[in-house]
Amino acid sequence: MVTTKNPQLDVPPELRDFAEKSVEQTKKAVDSYLSAAQKAVGTLEGSAEAMQSGIKDLGKKAMTFAEVNVASSFDLAQKLVRAKDVQDVMRIQAEFVQEQMKVLSEQAKELGTIAQKALKVNTPS
């Protein structure tokens, strides 16, 4: 008789702690990068007064989406680090992929709408 048992992830506590700290340090580094990118976008907006508002909106929205997507990825990493077994890892990953597909689809639609508006404003009649 074959018994199926969920294989346990036998990860030493020290390794799990190290992984959690690594994820947190990487998150801080990415947050710092995004902050610098936001400042750069702000500087561009301040120095380029002739830039159309639609293009500005597109840049701001893209940065917002990038921040949201990076945060989602770090949430995933933290959940995976805390997974109890392989089945838990698979469930967490499947939920993440399903949610991200919805989010990315909505983001693409919104960026498309903003881009269309910007093109209409910037296209000479």
Q: Which domain holds residue 110?
A: 13-122
Determine if residue 10 is left, alpha or beta; phi over 0 gives left, psi from -120 to 50 gives alpha, anything else beta.
beta
Tell me the pTM: 0.61
Distance CA 105, CA 24 (A): 28
Q: What pLDDT digit, counting tens, does each position of 56-67 carry?
A: 788 889 899 999
Please indicate, yes or no, if residue 33 is contained in any of the structural domains: yes
Please indicate, yes or no, if residue 23 is contained in any of the structural domains: yes
pLDDT at 33: 80
Please indicate, yes or no, if residue 7 is contained in any of the structural domains: no
Is the model's pLDDT at 121 over the cut of 60? no
Q: For the chain, what is the domain count?
A: 1
Contacts of 64 (CB under 8 A, 6+ apart): none
pLDDT at 52: 61
Contact of 86 with 9, CB cutoff 8 Å? yes
pLDDT at 114: 83
Q: What pLDDT digit, counting tens, does each position of 4-48 carry?
A: 566 677 778 887 888 888 888 888 888 888 888 888 777 766 555
